[in-house]
Amino acid sequence: MGNRIHLLSEQTINQIAAGEVIENPASVVKELIENGVDAGATHIRVEILSGGFQWIKISDDGSGMSPDEAVLSLQRHATSKIQNADDLFSLTTMGFRGEALASIAAISKMTLLTALERAPAIRLEIEGGKTIEAGPDARARGTSIEVRSLFYNVPARKKFQKSAAASSAEITKVVTQLALAHPEVGFEFVQQNQVQFNLPPSSRELLKNRAAVLLGEEYVHSLHALEMNGAWGWVGDPLHSRHNRSGQYLFINSRPVFCPAVSFAVRDAYGTRLGADRHPIYLLHLSIPPEFLDVNVHPQKREVRLREERIVKQLLHTAVNDALFPREPLPAPMLANVSLSFTAPDFSAPLLLQEEQEETPLQELPLIMEIEPIGLYRHYLFVDAERVPSRFSCEGPGVVWFDLPAVESRLQFERLLKNSQKVQSQGLLIPLTLSYSRAEAEQLRGHFEIFHSFGLQIREIGQSVFLIDAIPPALEEQEVSIVLEEMIRELKTTDLKRKWALCICRRVRARKKSYHLREASHLIKELAQAEDPWHCPQGKKTLFYLREEDIENSFQKQPIKATADSFEKAKA
């Protein structure tokens, strides 16, 4: 007989709830900072050790709690944010479910110290959700919460957590987002007893200065101011777009969120000024009436839904266009009695920036080609099916088409994976300088040696500013920033070498350069020795076989005779 139905213990219920709300140390930091913001804090201090697994401390100067409220706050669904279900549709606070403190306490050893204005403080010591000590203490108005040994009583969950370095980067990202969401609150972030940044309370007008500290000067310099009907912030120049959404910061009613409708509207406003694989950067604040928002979509409140998507999209489309391409006033009319005359310089001789290399006629090259290609069309090579290497066994006569960028991408991918030695670098005459946000810089710092083994010489020269001295032969100088942007998002994975190879090969395939017959033929001979000669690393075909009978059938189709009956049938 199967197990009988029974009630779960309170401890099990709390640990299940904690699993829904607390994914990692960054979730703890996010929930506790939001509690401080809701308490009216003007300064919040965040301290972590070992990526937050060992120790997290969040201190604020908010309203604090009375002893009774402090004890009640550790119960599930205890909150000061809402009174009934109707309040869920008009939320004005960051948190509202009342599960954060209870969930954190259930999976850690926690100390809560809080006090009201001109009132004695109370200290609570909690382990695994149970209060083991409570007593008076001293503290100015506000709340301090220490979280130690996170996930100590749920080892199965701790086993699947990321490394301490990856967790630190995730926490930096969370603090960055919340600091940009609430310019009126001062933020201090301390990691491994070192102050990463200390931002005093600011204002909406000075948020760009805070963004420069957190996201980098390069990010801020490309921004255009936007302000219209409850939307304000900045959008990036099309030239500074990225291959991913890492540079997008959206805040709705001061809540960091992701909203597909807003993302689409901003991207759509750029039109053809952005490539299909590019994403704009922006830092946007939207003020939307709470009744038009559903923020209870995701357990961690990461995503929101809009009731009036069409209106918001139209407003954003107009606002982004006005920010990027403001309408210039008409020039003042010239005075009739003023005449300007000048002698225009002679530009009949073309200005040559680079000498064109003389091409040797193909017939003069001493070519010995085993595959004897028929010819080249753009970046495609077509070869008689009976002349291709035996690896590409074709069933009868026909033509084989090779996509040369895909072929080169496959070959480069296998070379990078097979090479167990450190890749040789090519030094740059003028080193590249790249700047990143605090969170991105935190992720990069722990991976310099790995990038060096890939042939990319990178070092930090300032606060979140990096210098690239040399690059691998497979990478072009103008592709470095794009590849690093992609890799920053992949640093959390284990097989970084494979991810790096994929990033490089995507760039190789995207180049669509021109090829000579000799080079193309050499690539095909190399492809015949590859492990998977039929697909590029992205899974797309490297070659296409067109049989002779298919070609003949295409020319032998009978033409359609137009008759009166056929016209009548078409009308019907």
Residue 368 pLDDT more than 70?
A: no
What single-letter amino acid sits at 66?
Answer: S
Residue 495: give its domain's CATH number. 3.30.1370.100
Residue 54 pLDDT more than 80?
A: yes
What pLDDT score was predicted for residue 80?
A: 57
What pLDDT score was predicted for residue 365?
A: 39
DSSP-derived 3-state class of residue 534 = coil
- Residue 344 maps to a domain: no
Do residues 406 and 546 share a domain? yes
Do residues 39 and 144 share a domain? yes
**Tokens in use for 317?**
């489309």
What pLDDT score was predicted for residue 444?
A: 85
Mean pLDDT across the stretch 191-210? 92
Instruction: Give the end of a domain, one of 151, 174, 199.
Output: 199
What single-letter amino acid sits at 114?
Answer: T
Lowest mean pLDDT: which of 36-50, 81-95, 267-281, 405-419?
Answer: 81-95
pLDDT in tens, 304-313: 778 778 888 8
The number of domains in the chain is 3
Measured from the Cβ of residue 458, the count of other Cβ atoms closer than 10 Å reads 20
Instruction: Give the end of a domain, one of 183, 199, 215.
Output: 199
Residue 56 pLDDT more than 90?
A: yes
pLDDT band at 336 (very low <50, low <70, confident <90, very high): very low
Residue 233 pLDDT more than 60?
A: yes
In terms of residues, how long is the chain? 572
Mean pLDDT across the stretch 451-474? 87
What pLDDT score was predicted for residue 362?
A: 39
DSSP-derived 3-state class of residue 404 = helix
- Residue 107 maps to a domain: yes
Residue 356 pLDDT more than 60?
A: no
pLDDT band at 342 (very low <50, low <70, confident <90, very high): very low
- Is residue 101 within a helix (H) or strand (E), and if so which, with residue range? helix 100-106
- Residue 492 maps to a domain: yes
- If one compares 299 and 411, the residue with the highest pLDDT of the two is 411
Q: What does 144-193 look like in DSSP terms, one character per residue?
A: EEEEESTTTT-HHHHTT---HHHHHHHHHHHHHHHHHH-TTSEEEEEETT
Do residues 300 and 409 share a domain? no
pLDDT in tens, 214-227: 998 888 988 999 98
- Residue 357 maps to a domain: no
**Tokens in use for 509?**
């395939």
Mean pLDDT, the chain, whole residue set: 80
Do residues 500 and 412 share a domain? yes
- Residue 175 maps to a domain: yes
User: What is the C-alpha separation between 398 and 546, in angstroms, rounded?
Assistant: 6
Do residues 215 and 173 share a domain? no
pLDDT in tens, 524-534: 888 888 888 88
Do residues 247 and 118 share a domain? no
Do residues 402 and 460 share a domain? yes
Residue 47: give its domain's CATH number. 3.30.565.10
Decide: 49 and 63 in contact? Cβ < 8 Å: no
DSSP-derived 3-state class of residue 81 = coil
pLDDT band at 536 (very low <50, low <70, confident <90, very high): confident
Do residues 130 and 263 share a domain? no
Do residues 182 and 214 share a domain? no
| C-alpha distances out from residue 89 to 293, 346, 551, Å | 7, 70, 64
Q: Are strands 373-377 and 380-384 parallel, antiparallel or unpaired?
A: antiparallel
Residue 360 pLDDT more than 50?
A: no
Which residue has 């961690």 as its token pair? 300
Do residues 42 and 167 share a domain? yes
Output phi, psi for 191, to 5 deg: -125, 125
Do residues 241 and 168 share a domain? no
What pLDDT score was predicted for residue 208?
A: 92
pLDDT in tens, 412-455: 888 888 876 777 788 888 888 888 888 888 888 878 888 888 88
386 is in which domain, residue-wise?
368-551
Residue 1 pLDDT more than 50?
A: no
What pLDDT score was predicted for residue 341?
A: 44
Mean pLDDT across the stretch 357-374? 51
User: What is the C-alpha separation between 469 and 433, in angstroms, rounded?
Assistant: 9
Q: Are strands 55-60 and 109-115 parallel, antiparallel or unpaired?
A: unpaired
Instruction: Give the end of a domain, one of 138, 168, 199.
Output: 199
Residue 268: give its domain's CATH number. 3.30.230.10
Which pTM value belongs to this model?
0.69
Residue 200 pLDDT more than 90?
A: yes
- Residue 559 maps to a domain: no
Do residues 148 and 227 share a domain? no
User: What is the C-alpha separation between 123 and 130, in angstroms, rounded?
Assistant: 14
Mean pLDDT across the stretch 323-338? 58
Mean pLDDT across the stretch 127-131? 89
- Residue 434 maps to a domain: yes
Q: Give the distance, in angstroms, between the CA of residue 419 and the centroid of all CA atoms in the same chain.
A: 29
pLDDT in tens, 19-53: 556 889 999 999 999 999 989 999 999 999 999 99
What's the per-residue H, E or C state across 284-349?
EEECCCHHHEECCCCCCCCECEECCHHHHHHHHHHHHHHHHCCCCCCCCCCCCCCCCCCCCCCCCC
Most confident of 123-127, 353-357, 379-383, 463-467: 123-127
pLDDT band at 372 (very low <50, low <70, confident <90, very high): confident
What pLDDT score was predicted for residue 305?
A: 77
What pLDDT score was predicted for residue 15?
A: 60
Percent of the chain with pLDDT over 70: 80
pLDDT in tens, 148-195: 999 888 887 788 788 888 899 899 999 999 999 999 999 999 999 999
What pLDDT score was predicted for residue 553?
A: 81
User: What is the C-alpha separation between 324 and 326, in angstroms, rounded?
Assistant: 6
- Residue 356 maps to a domain: no
- If one compares 374 and 199, the residue with the highest pLDDT of the two is 199
Residues in Cβ contact with 475 at an 8 Å cutoff, skipping those fewer than 6 apart: 455, 456, 483, 504, 507
- If one compares 329 and 337, the residue with the highest pLDDT of the two is 329
Q: Which of 181, 199, 203 is nearest to 283 (CA)?
A: 181
Q: Which of 222, 225, 200, 296 is nearest to 255 (CA)?
A: 296
Mean pLDDT across the stretch 243-249? 87
